[in-house]
Structure 1
Amino acid sequence: MSVMPDPHAKIAIPKPKLITRETDPLHIIKTRITTHGRPVNIAGPMVRYSKLPFRQLCRDYNVDIVYSPMILAREYVRNEHARISDLSINDKDVPLIVQVGVNNVADLLKFVEMVAPYCDGVGINCGCPIKEQIREGIGCALIYNSDLLCSMVRAVKNKYGDKLRLETKIRIHDELDQTVELCRNLCDSGVDWITIHGRTRRTRSSQSVNLDAIKYIIDRIADKNVPVIANGDCFKLSDLEKITKYTGASGVMAVRGLLSNPALFAGHDICPWGCIEKFWYWALEFGGLPFQLAQHHLYCMFESMELKRSLLKEMMNLKNYISLIDWFDENFDFKRHGEDGFGEAIEIPYKK
């Protein structure tokens, strides 16, 4: 059963939920190498796509920490409809980091107060390069406004301390020493960990991530003892070790790689068929996922699996869940939850 944030901003809001060692994101980041023999892996925030069914799917395939989509603080704290639609969770959705787009302390503190009972941490988005967000002082704009960003971090940590974890996800500056200075200031302000996307605000995703930049920054803030997560170009499990070994990061955040293959951290180089069946199960079990969004999730996974182009085109021409389920039954050996072999197949089980 989903748990929805209290839609009434003026009603007394529950206290932050109790973080245990098993659900504490910071503890997981610091100890995963000793408990599991590998660095921590994280499913990063994806606009629209990091909804509850997809988060649960990622958890089914060895993801340690999962983020919500970015939520705009100004809308969430003022609009009941935004609160209902932007965040749904359940008791399996742990540890969860709720990412926020925000440009002032007041909205951030109100936002954190409202989501703290339902998550294990909050991440401030300082990496979104969309021009509209930057114009409003959100996303990438914050890496050029260190005073504001650090004041927001201090405000949250002064109020909540270790009862709630706080992360900042940043991009790099053209001049890397600016990023080093920003990270050192964030550490001094109390941030629990920093995620560094190794691209500038103008770097296209088609260009390789700058691992040298991430390594440069990590080396120069090592004395702060604040974990750093590397973000960018993680598409296979082997990338987790390669990136962390080269940069010295405590772990890796994947975004595009997980969208096309939610099982990548379980060692699958190509999305397995079982992932499709599990996605269907969670999407229908939890509900609330718009049809076109579910359709696009399936499209991304099928592209990774190199589904026949004619079938991919057919699927994208469908208009509702009923016709999509019928299409699956017509073309594949499509198992439901509870049936023998559900969620286990690797290859596409074509019927024709």
Structure 2
Amino acid sequence: MPTMPTLSDDIVIPKPKLITRETDPLHIIKTRQKTHGRPVTIAGPMVRYSKLPFRQLCREYDVDIVYSPMILAREYVRNEHARISDFSTNSEDTPLIVQVGVNNVADLLKFVEMVAPYCDGVGINCGCPIKEQIREGIGCALIYNPGLLCDMVRAVKGKYGDKLRIETKIRIHEELNETVNLCRELCEAGVDWITIHGRTRRTRSSQPANLDAIKYIIENIRDKNVPVIANGDCFKLSDLERITTYTGASGVMAVRGLLSNPALFAGYETCPWGCIEKFWYWVLEFGGLPFQLTLHHLYCMLESMDLRKPLLKEMMNLKNYISLIDWFDKTFYFKRFGEDEFGKAVEIPYKN
């Protein structure tokens, strides 16, 4: 894995990564319907959870574009420890969008300079509803500060042009015409595509996403010819067609649905056992994933598979990787990479 550079005077920052047609996110978004007979599929950013092993797992199950977790620009450009812990990648991790939480042009340009050699695009987080982030002018605060947001988009596009893609992931305003105006301004600023989460900053995730709002916004910016991705309530493959057909979006971004079932875009109604084996492989292959994070990924997937409750509780009481691997071997027929039928099983292969 590449080591993230610093901005000290004695280090030369590598040039932006060369984007090809095969890895260009914008090209993929615009052509997926023609090349694959379906809209584009995207794994959205999840705080802590969109790390390299999980991104690689999603790619194995018909996910076209994958996002990193949100990275705070201010911390990343100033703190070497943040760079080490927040972002790791490799040559196979593409197309990759690195999402950033940022509230000023200077930090954004420094951040982009540091990650551009290792990704295919940068996404500005304009949707995080956490109060602490909003107080800092990050996340949802940006949809109420369109001038700053558009300045940031213009700054990146002015420096990198089509060598790096720039996206904004927004929530909707209480007054939808405000969102329409924001999207039109973003298009004029040069944004490559817009992702719209169909909830306001105050809407709970337990409430349905507002697909009517996404449809209305798309209809009112269609003349700008900028793709829109719909986000919210995608939990199975049929939702991809349902959401895009109704809203006119170019594709769908899934987040919570993929956390429970990384294979949802491949047509699996619940997480298949093969996902568990492959996830284990990528965790051990890449290393560096905190134990509690691995445990939570496994919990989300196994819970969606209706693993017996006593076993879920037993697993969550384990304290380290050695005991967790031993538990899997004791409880299931657990195949490793290279063994026959590795990663192919659907049902849970209980030993007892």
TM-score by length of 2: 0.99
- Look up the SS of the partner of 1:221 in the other structure: helix
8 Å Cα contact 2:142/2:149 also seen in 1: yes
One-letter amino acid of the counterpart of residue 225, structure 1: N
Rounded to whole Å, the distance in 2 between the matches of 1:9 and 1:76 is 14
Residues 7-47 of structure 1 show CA distances to partners (whole Å, capped at 9, x for unaligned) of 45442100101100000000000000000000000000000
Matched, 1:5 2:4: yes
8 Å Cα contact 1:244/1:250 also seen in 2: yes
Matched, 1:63 2:94: no
Question: Which runs of 4 or more aligned residues in structure 1 lie more than 4 Å from their structure 2 counterparts after TM superposition?
Answer: none
Structure 1 residues 70-85: aligned runs within 5 Å: 70-85=70-85
Residues 279-299 of structure 1 show CA distances to partners (whole Å, capped at 9, x for unaligned) of 000000000000000000000
Q: Indicate the residue corresponding to 1:160 in structure 2.
A: 160
- Look up the SS of the partner of 1:77 in the other structure: helix
8 Å Cα contact 1:96/1:120 also seen in 2: yes
Structure 1 residue ranges without an equivalent (≥5):
none
Matched, 1:171 2:166: no
Rounded to whole Å, the distance in 1 between the matches of 2:63 and 2:302 is 20
One-letter amino acid of the counterpart of residue 4, structure 1: T
One-letter amino acid of the counterpart of residue 185, structure 2: N
Matched, 1:94 2:94: yes
Structure 1 residues 103-182: aligned runs within 5 Å: 103-182=103-182
Matched, 1:230 2:230: yes
Structure 1 residues 1-352: aligned runs within 5 Å: 2-7=1-6, 9-10=8-9, 11-352=11-352
Rounded to whole Å, the distance in 1 between the matches of 2:332 and 2:106 is 52
8 Å Cα contact 2:6/2:77 also seen in 1: no
Rounded to whole Å, the distance in 2 between the matches of 1:111 and 1:90 is 18
- Cα drift, residue 3 of structure 1: 2.1
Aligned length: 351
8 Å Cα contact 2:70/2:98 also seen in 1: yes
Structure 2 residue ranges without an equivalent (≥5):
none
Rounded to whole Å, the distance in 1 between the matches of 2:325 and 2:36 is 38
8 Å Cα contact 1:43/1:58 also seen in 2: yes
- Cα drift, residue 329 of structure 1: 0.4
TM-score by length of 1: 0.99
One-letter amino acid of the counterpart of residue 182, structure 1: L
- Cα drift, residue 5 of structure 1: 1.6
The percentage of aligned residue pairs carrying the same residue is 83
